[in-house]
């Protein structure tokens, strides 16, 4: 897999619900140095959007620090032409991720991992991007909102274009022998492994509206899946990913101990980063080094809770865990 070209790519799905004025000129790219920590800000290519339009972009070989480095952090946000962050109420960023990829020299195949989707109200979308019909009553999820599709907009909204960029900040240090590398594990609550012995991640699932919630005053829909952890290690960092309606997720060890719990943070206002009704962050775990261990072959269970007060289609229950392998 290591032969061929290597690079980093972005997969980005965003959607704009209404446009505002367009400002001129781009923000600058700058490098900062704090001790050995280097930091650089980059901009993606320009993405032009209209009210209700959906963008699902993939950019290969994006700008990224070169050399043998240890990435300390990677953050991204959508900005406008003036470089100011854009509210989720205006441009809803469903997800973004950057992955390393390899290109096979002979076949030109791109080898990567991962795929995800977008939820919106369908607007005359009856087939997926490959032309396969969507199942009846499919409200939204992985298959509907491909690049160039259109969500319904309110009557009277002016069709004005707006240019946005994904601005991402990478912090890194140059490699040295004192750096302990981590392995990234992604758990998916839809993984079928415990039933089939094969890892098959369906990513999205649906949460039905509870019919018994009123009587029991319990609107928790809980889903679980277990896997066998492949290596022994120390947990360095962890967090879950859920969509709107999510109420928290936990990873449990075989003995029932909590390895990491992560809850969505819902916005309360109108400010950028605090958009009411949206998930604006997830709480994280950053345990004292060496204090949370997982054994090789240990059964680890992921639990993902959603509110079943309303139906939620195409939700996610993912958990990201950074583990330093112990010898």
Using DSSP's 3-state secondary structure scheme, residue 213 falls into helix
Residue 92's beta-bridge partner residues?
15
146 forms part of the interface with ligand NAG (CB under 6 A): yes
In the complex, residue closest to ligand NAG by CB? 146
261 forms part of the interface with ligand NAG (CB under 6 A): yes
242 forms part of the interface with ligand NAG (CB under 6 A): no
Instruction: Centre a 10 Å sphere on the Cβ of residue 26 and count the other Cβ atoms it contains.
Output: 14
Q: How far is the CB of 218 from ligand NAG (least distance, A)?
A: 4
Q: Which is nearer to ligand NAG, 220 or 226 (CB)?
A: 220
Q: How far is the CB of 291 from ligand NAG (least distance, A)?
A: 20
Q: Which is nearer to ligand NAG, 33 or 215 (CB)?
A: 215
Written as six digits, the tokens of 174 are 């140059």
Instruction: Centre a 10 Å sphere on the Cβ of residue 174 and count the other Cβ atoms it contains.
Output: 12
**Kind of pairing between the strands at 183-188 and 220-228:** unpaired
Among 3, 5, 58, 104, binds ligand NAG (CB under 6 A): 58
CA 178 – CA 176 distance, rounded (Å): 5
Stretch that binds ligand NAG, among 34-42, 51-59, 132-140, 162-170 (CB under 6 A): 51-59
Q: Which is nearer to ligand NAG, 248 or 267 (CB)?
A: 248
What are the Cα distances from residue 159, in Å, to 50, 52, 162, 194? 6, 9, 10, 49
What is the size of the binding site for ligand NAG (CB under 6 A)?
26
Stretch that binds ligand NAG, among 185-193, 197-205, 243-251, 287-295 (CB under 6 A): 243-251
Q: How far is the CB of 242 from ligand NAG (least distance, A)?
A: 10
131's torsion region: left (phi>0), alpha (psi -120 to 50) or beta? left
* DSSP of 100-163: EEEE-TTT--EE------B----SS--B-TTSPBPPTT--SBTTT--TT-B----TT-----EE
121 forms part of the interface with ligand NAG (CB under 6 A): no
CA 201 – CA 193 distance, rounded (Å): 9
44 forms part of the interface with ligand NAG (CB under 6 A): no
* DSSP of 230-267: -S-EEEEEEEEEE-TTEEEEEEE-TTS-EEEEE-EEEB
315 forms part of the interface with ligand NAG (CB under 6 A): no
Match 């302990």 to its residue by tokens: 180
249 forms part of the interface with ligand NAG (CB under 6 A): yes
Contact (CB, 8 A) for 145 and 13: yes
Phi, psi values for residue 256, rounded to 5°: 90, -5
Q: Which is nearer to ligand NAG, 82 or 258 (CB)?
A: 258
Stretch that binds ligand NAG, among 102-110, 167-175, 223-231, 245-253 (CB under 6 A): 245-253
284 forms part of the interface with ligand NAG (CB under 6 A): no
What are the Cα distances from residue 3, in Å, to 74, 86, 99, 240? 26, 39, 17, 33
Q: Which is nearer to ligand NAG, 233 or 248 (CB)?
A: 248
Residues 199-218 that bind ligand NAG (CB under 6 A): 218
96 forms part of the interface with ligand NAG (CB under 6 A): no
Q: How far is the CB of 121 from ligand NAG (least distance, A)?
A: 13
Q: How far is the CB of 94 from ligand NAG (least distance, A)?
A: 10
159 forms part of the interface with ligand NAG (CB under 6 A): yes
> Residues in the site for ligand NAG, rule: CB under 6 A?
11, 50, 52, 56, 58, 115, 117, 124, 129, 142-143, 145-146, 150, 153, 159, 218, 220, 222, 247-250, 261, 303, 305
């Amino acid at each position: 897999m290591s032969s061929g070209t290597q690079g980093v790519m972005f997969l980005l799905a965003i959607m704009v619900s209404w446009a505002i004025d367009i400002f001129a000129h781009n923000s600058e790219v700058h490098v900062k140095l704090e001790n050995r920590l280097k930091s650089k800000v980059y901009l993606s290519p320009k993405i032009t959007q209209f009210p209700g339009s959906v963008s699902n972009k993939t950019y290969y070989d994006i700008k990224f620090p070169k050399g043998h480095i240890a990435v300390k952090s990677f953050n991204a946000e959508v900005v406008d032409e003036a470089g100011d962050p854009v509210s989720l109420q205006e441009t809803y960023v469903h997800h973004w991720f950057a992955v390393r990829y390899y290109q096979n020299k002979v076949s030109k195949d791109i080898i990567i991992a991962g795929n995800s989707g977008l939820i919106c109200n369908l607007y005359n979308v009856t087939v997926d991007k490959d032309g396969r019909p969507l199942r009846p009553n499919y409200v939204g999820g992985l298959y509907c909102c491909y690049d160039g599709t259109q969500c319904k907009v309110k009557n009277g909204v002016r069709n004005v274009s707006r240019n946005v960029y994904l601005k991402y900040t990478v912090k890194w240090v140059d490699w040295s022998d004192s750096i302990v590398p981590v392995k990234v594990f992604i758990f998916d609550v839809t993984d079928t492994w415990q039933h089939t012995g094969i890892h098959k991640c369906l990513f999205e699932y649906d949460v039905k509206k509870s019919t018994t919630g009123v009587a029991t005053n319990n609107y928790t829909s809980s889903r679980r899946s277990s896997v066998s952890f492949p290596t022994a290690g120390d947990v360095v960092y962890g967090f879950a990913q859920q969509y709107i309606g999510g109420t928290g997720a936990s990873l449990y060890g075989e003995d029932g101990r909590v390895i990491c719990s992560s809850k969505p943070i819902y916005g309360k206002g109108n400010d950028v980063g605090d958009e009411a009704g949206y998930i604006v962050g997830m709480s994280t775990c950053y345990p004292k080094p060496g204090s949370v261990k997982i054994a090789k072959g240990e059964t680890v269970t992921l639990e993902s809770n959603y509110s079943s007060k309303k139906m939620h289609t195409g939700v996610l229950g993912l958990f990201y865990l950074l583990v330093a392998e112990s010898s």
